[in-house]
Amino acid sequence: MDGSVASSSVWDTQKVYKHHEQQNVAQTRPKYREGRRLKAVKVYTINLESRYLLVQGVPAIGVMAELVQLFALYGVIEEYRPLDEYPAEQFTEVYLIQFQKLTSARAAKRHTDEKSFFGGQLHVCYAPEYETVEETKQKLQDRRRYVNWASQNAAKLHSQQAEVNTESSSSTDTRTAEAPIMQKNPEEARRENVNSDYMGFPLLPLPPTADISYRLQNHFTQPSQLQWTKETTEDKMGSLHNFIPPVQKTSTQSESSSSSGVKEGDLRQKQKISTPSIRFMPRTTHLESRKRKLDEQTFFLKEADKTGVLIGPKLPELPKLDMEDSSLNVTANLIRNTMTKAASVPEAKPVQAKHTTPKPRRRI
Amino acid sequence: MAGKNRFSVSDRFEYLQGLVTEFQDSDSDEAKEQVLANLANFAYDPSNMEALRTLQVTELFLDMLTEENENFVEFGIGGLCNLSMELESRDQILQSGGVPLVISCLSSSRDETVLSAITTLMNLITASSRSEITDSAVLQCMLRFSHTQNPRLRNLACVFLQEHCTQKQVDTARHALQGQSQSAVGIPLPKD
């Protein structure tokens, strides 16, 4: 018995081993350990791997050359042959392919198993039973050498990564150190709001964008707050001539510069308008400023919509009345459109508004 | 190899830690089998070995070798087979007294378990552990395996005898095998 086994070449073994059979895939894995492909519960060791691949399910239509071409994509093939005696499904053939390198066989199996090939589905598995003793010995030695080379490399890489990590953590430290400074901005802005409330002129809430508050802090809150408090005291003393020129400067800036500049300008403008209104506010000016406030509000809302960072509930849209008649609806729409057009006009030409504001001061 | 690392070292560690925790907390054998197979397959990749050692997965695998469930044993020894390729993990297994446990796997009725055990034993051979692993009983078992019909088992047993045993050792073992003092290592118990 021993002699017959020893004399038979490895290429003659036609037994179907358990590891040739396709196992059922596990369907019950929780999400976090579910891979991209469903796989059977199986442990791969070097014993199971081999340079020999058994390819089942090849359609028996004379496509051996194509099959070999397909597998040659993954590495040098040393030998291949059809296993005629191997039990195969009807109209399919089984091939044995021996790669020069184990890594090629691994790549080939990974990419061809369960793939369709000329209308059939390939089942590719390792066939270590075709190895000789020498090949098995070599395989184990190669694996041992590779693992120790790789783990030494990994240790090196790990120590390098540790260095990088300490570097990056120090850089994040500086970043977090910077953050509190940024967070101060809304606080200051709020303080400013309280200030203005106290003076009886509620400012619009600042837009919730961080960069705007940052800009406001730099260019607006500190200098203008000082300016403004100074100016208001002057206002109480009845002299406002110092007040006008800087405002006009900023408003002209606002026309030319970016949207944030516009906002600054608008805010200043409003302060300027509301300051004189303590004592003498002609009704027309009052109405004008009220309308401007409304415009600014819508302007801010639009701005927030654009940037997409609006916090809090939005203003309700104007209810659209159904006139229960199509022609009446058309007329109502027409009127509505004209109204919105008319309402948007002063926003388009703020220069006129600015010219009107110095007028009341002349009456002092 | 470096380009393959899609996950950072800490991410890997956390994921593996999650697996170990699930294994310890789970009551379902099915889930435990899946997690154990996952861990054993992770042990194939050298870049995971350090994390697995830190998480004491070596001990976990060794504990599996005495389980009733044959799947647990197969996956546990498979994991050890993968881990023991690396020198540091090998030393850890030796320190934990893993050799007798691995030798007991030679008597399994499952081919994969026996194959993994042979490879693990070969990996575990060092100057100090050689005498324990190339024990007469183990050699007799390998001699028996070298005459089986299964080519994989035959090859691996031959590699074991050729690479790690002296001719003298093999001869005495062969003599013992023909005589009365046969050991029962590597002979699976009949199933009931």
Whole-number Å distance between alpha carbons of B134 and A324: 100
Q: Contacts of residue B87 in chain A, CB cutoff 8 Å?
A: 148, 151
Alpha helices for B86-183 (secondary structure H): 87-95, 99-104, 111-124, 130-133, 136-145, 151-164, 167-178
Which CATH entry fits the domain spanning A2-131: 3.30.70.330, 3.10.20.30, 2.130.10.10, 3.40.50.720?
3.30.70.330
Across-strand partners of A97? A53, A80
Q: Please state, in angstroms and rounded to a whole number, the distance separating the CA atoms of residues B185 and A267.
A: 91
Closest CA to A70 of A124, A114, A112: A112
pLDDT at A67: 93
At residue A336, the pLDDT reads 85
Strands A123-126 and A52-59 turn out to be antiparallel
Phi, psi for residue A58 in degrees, rounded to 5:
-80, 125
Pairing of the two strands A116-117 and A120-121:
antiparallel
B80-89 tens-digit pLDDT: 999 999 999 9
Burial group, residue B174, by CB count within 10 angstroms (0-12, 13-18, 19+)? middle
Q: Which residue has the higher pLDDT, B158 or A253?
A: B158
Measuring CA to CA, which residue among A22, A94, A108 is closest to residue A59? Answer: A94
- CB-CB under 8 Å, A158 with B9: yes
Q: Which residues of B touch A128 (CB under 8 A)?
A: 152, 155
What single string gives the DSSP state of each residue in A215-250?
HIIIIIIHHHHHHHHHHHHHHHTT--TTTHHHHHHH
Neighbours of A34 (CB within 10 A): 14
Residues 115-154 of A with CB under 8 A from B: 128-133, 136-137, 140, 143-144, 146-148, 150-151, 153-154
For residue B112, which residues of chain A lie inside 8 Å, CB to CB?
19, 43, 45, 47-48
For A333-356, letters b (16+ CB in 10 Å) and e give eeeeeeeeeeeeeeeeebeebbee
A266 within 8 A of A300, measured Cβ to Cβ: no
Which of chain B's residues have a Cβ under 8 Å away from the Cβ of A18?
111
Burial of A50 (0-12, 13-18, 19+ CB in 10 A): buried
Give one DSSP letter per residue of A135-159, joined into a string.
HHHHHHHHHHHHHHHHHHHHHHHHH
- What pLDDT digit, counting tens, does each position of B102-155 carry? 999 999 999 999 999 999 999 999 999 999 999 888 999 999 999 888 999 999
Most A CBs within 10 Å, among B49, B85, B102, B106, to test the A interface: B85
Predicted local distance difference test score (pLDDT) of residue A17: 72
- Please say whether the beta carbons of A42 and A23 come within 8 A: yes
Domains, chain B, with CATH or none: 10-133 (1.25.10.10), 134-186 (no CATH)
- Residue-level pLDDT, tens digit, chain A, 364 residues: 333 333 344 444 456 777 777 777 767 777 766 666 667 788 999 999 999 999 999 999 999 999 999 999 999 999 999 998 888 888 899 999 999 999 999 999 999 998 999 998 999 999 999 999 999 999 999 999 999 888 888 777 767 766 665 555 444 444 433 334 344 444 444 444 444 444 555 556 665 554 444 444 444 444 444 444 444 444 445 444 444 444 444 444 444 444 444 444 454 554 444 444 455 667 777 788 888 888 777 655 555 455 556 666 666 666 666 777 788 888 888 888 888 888 876 555 555 555 555 556 666 5
Average pLDDT over residues B48-60: 91
Task: Report domain extents, chain A.
Answer: 2-131, 199-316+324-362
